[in-house]
Chains A and B, each alone.
Chain A
């Protein structure tokens, strides 16, 4: 069901853990839907020098977190913002259709962490180009 790349990132996830005193944190997802991602970033001179994650979720959610943190490390904030869920899924050599929402979560997690950093810096938050429907209201919608 999963590609070798997904299995590799699931079994040997890169960047697991928390960053102490992170410059930005983004938490997305919902336990009702079975996945929560928390992304931590360190920013130096507008570049993401470190990224870590903690994830509650399925194999695809863990692999997507691992890949997304890999993809944004070393990138400027502008470049990192452009890392799309498709890019995450492609880097994982594809995700089953039902699991694409995991890559969406990863993209959202990165965006949230970046905006958290910008907020702390007193900068205006960037707007989501394609707001996804991962609802955080009282009745979460788990479909994507």
Chain B
């Protein structure tokens, strides 16, 4: 069988490690393998590399190097920020505010804390996925100890008004955490002016390795440890450092943030070409998420009358990798909580397709998708009992 050229459009899921990042990482598996906690020369090399990376990450975020802690990735960073602040500040209060569209690493952590006696407010979002700062302010009580709102949504790409939300938290002297896993490289971040106390990031979302992330913790934030053991990371996160991962993260974040504006212009142009093409050629399609305040590479479209997984299977058959908010690809049968939170009827949520573009994508990739996708949608609609060619009667008019 003829092997079709792969068009990877799932960069929100993960990204390939850049060759330059790989080059930096490689020696730390072999010649620079020393345990940074040891005393001899090769260990000192490892230690130096870690501290250099800490400075690299701090610079990108506008933080100080000793405010950066390396973790195993976004999920650990989210867990640490939320559980750590919750348990350390229990005497002050037991109320946490987050949003309905957070990643499960935040949502499930909050649900766990509810079982431990905390109360959680899940702020609704508007149809474009935005959290309303006024709603946040209204939700604050004298028991609120933490506000956690994602920087940008992984499914619909909506970018939240982080500085504004952070200012509300600061005004009420409440810690403010943001899951910035999708945001790095796409928006300029400055933790100081944006009033961010804690920020999660993950290397594999910006062309770094999997299994390595970081948590920014502003100096003075009261937080418990999550991983107990040795004295690594200034006694705050035990475990022998993932040196290769950490050095890879450093190079990756430097490359990803070297030209955020240029990256935005280039990727958004491709994304908009794709979106325009889709909306022009496929009826009963709608864009999910905010039309402007969104990640440059994120496209999320719902096609009525069809289901997302069957769309992905056909696209995969053509070498195109995407994802869907339909239940059928996850473990449950309910459609994605994000799709429901922005008010999509479940049947439309099932027909969503997320394509997330990255550095290697080209206009040819976009045009190939525009050639394939309308045929896939038409083929599936042809066999859908919900679709009537005459149009209107089956339409949801969303």
Chain A residues within CB distance 8 Å of chain B? 2, 7, 10-11, 13, 16-17, 27, 31-38, 53-62, 98-99, 101, 142-143
Q: Tell me what chain A mostly uses at the interface: helix, strand, loop, or mixed.
A: mixed
Determine the distance from Cα of A105 to Cα of B309 in the docked complex, in whole angstroms.
17
Most buried by B among A38, A54, A56, A98: A56
CB–CB A34/B384 < 8 A: no
From 314 to 342 in chain B, residues with beta carbon under 8 angstroms from any chain A beta carbon are: 314, 317, 326-328, 331-335
Closest to B349 in A: A34
Residues of A within 8 A of B317 (CB): 11
Closest to A16 in B: B383
Closest to B328 in A: A58
Instruction: Knowing A31-B350, A34-B326 are in contact, say whether A59-B383 is a contact too (CB < 8 A).
Output: no
Residues of A within 8 A of B385 (CB): 27, 36-38, 54-56
Among candidates B306, B313, B314, B333, residue contacting A56 with C-beta atoms closer than 8 Å: B306
Instruction: Knowing A34-B335, A54-B385, A57-B307 are in contact, say whether A10-B313 is a contact too (CB < 8 A).
Output: yes
Residues of A within 8 A of B331 (CB): 98
Knowing that A36-B386, A56-B306, A142-B334 are A-B contacts, what are 4 other residue pairs whose CB atoms are under 8 Å apart, sorted by A's residue number?
A: A7-B313, A32-B347, A58-B307, A59-B309
A-B contact pairs, 10 of them (CB 8 A): A7-B313, A13-B383, A27-B385, A33-B333, A55-B385, A56-B307, A58-B310, A61-B307, A98-B331, A142-B333
Among candidates A37, A53, A59, A143, residue contacting B310 with C-beta atoms closer than 8 Å: A59
Determine the distance from Cα of A32 to Cα of B396 in the docked complex, in whole angstroms.
14
CB–CB A142/B383 < 8 A: no
Closest to A17 in B: B383
B346 touches A (CB below 8 Å): yes
From 364 to 385 in chain B, residues with beta carbon under 8 angstroms from any chain A beta carbon are: 382-385
Chain B residues within CB distance 8 Å of chain A? 305-310, 313-314, 317, 326-328, 331-335, 346-347, 350, 382-386
Closest to B305 in A: A56
CB–CB B326/A31 < 8 A: no
CB–CB B307/A54 < 8 A: no
Most buried by A among B307, B317, B384: B307
Determine the distance from Cα of A56 to Cα of B306 in the docked complex, in whole angstroms.
6
Instruction: Knowing A59-B310, A62-B310, A143-B333 are in contact, say whether A34-B328 is a contact too (CB < 8 A).
Output: yes
Closest to A33 in B: B333
CB–CB A58/B326 < 8 A: yes
Total A-B pairs in contact (CB under 8 Å)?
76
Closest to A53 in B: B383
Closest to B382 in A: A16
Most buried by B among A13, A33, A34, A60: A34
Determine the distance from Cα of A47 to Cα of B335 in the docked complex, in whole angstroms.
39
CB–CB A55/B333 < 8 A: no
Determine the distance from Cα of A99 to Cα of B326 in the docked complex, in whole angstroms.
14
Residues of A within 8 A of B333 (CB): 33-34, 98, 101, 142-143
Determine the distance from Cα of A32 to Cα of B351 in the docked complex, in whole angstroms.
11
CB–CB A34/B307 < 8 A: yes
Determine the distance from Cα of A62 to Cα of B383 in the docked complex, in whole angstroms.
9
Residues of B within 8 A of A32 (CB): 346-347
CB–CB B327/A142 < 8 A: yes
Among candidates A2, A33, A55, A60, residue contacting B383 with C-beta atoms closer than 8 Å: A55
Determine the distance from Cα of A133 to Cα of B376 in the docked complex, in whole angstroms.
32
Determine the distance from Cα of A53 to Cα of B382 in the docked complex, in whole angstroms.
11
Closest to B314 in A: A11
Closest to B335 in A: A34
Among candidates B313, B332, B346, residue contacting A59 with C-beta atoms closer than 8 Å: B313
Determine the distance from Cα of A13 to Cα of B313 in the docked complex, in whole angstroms.
14
Closest to B348 in A: A31
Closest to B387 in A: A56
A59 smallest CB distance to B (angstroms): 5
Determine the distance from Cα of A31 to Cα of B384 in the docked complex, in whole angstroms.
11
Residues of A within 8 A of B382 (CB): 16
Closest to B346 in A: A32
Determine the distance from Cα of A104 to Cα of B331 in the docked complex, in whole angstroms.
18
Determine the distance from Cα of A13 to Cα of B382 in the docked complex, in whole angstroms.
12
Residues of A within 8 A of B328 (CB): 34, 57-60, 99
B387 smallest CB distance to A (angstroms): 8
CB–CB A34/B383 < 8 A: no
Among candidates B309, B334, B383, residue contacting A58 with C-beta atoms closer than 8 Å: B309
Determine the distance from Cα of A133 to Cα of B383 in the docked complex, in whole angstroms.
25
Instruction: Knowing A11-B317, A33-B333, A143-B333 are in contact, say whether A57-B310 is a contact too (CB < 8 A).
Output: yes
Residues of A within 8 A of B383 (CB): 13, 16-17, 53-55, 62
Instruction: Knowing A11-B317, A142-B334 are in contact, say whether A35-B384 is a contact too (CB < 8 A).
Output: no
A56 smallest CB distance to B (angstroms): 4
A4 smallest CB distance to B (angstroms): 13
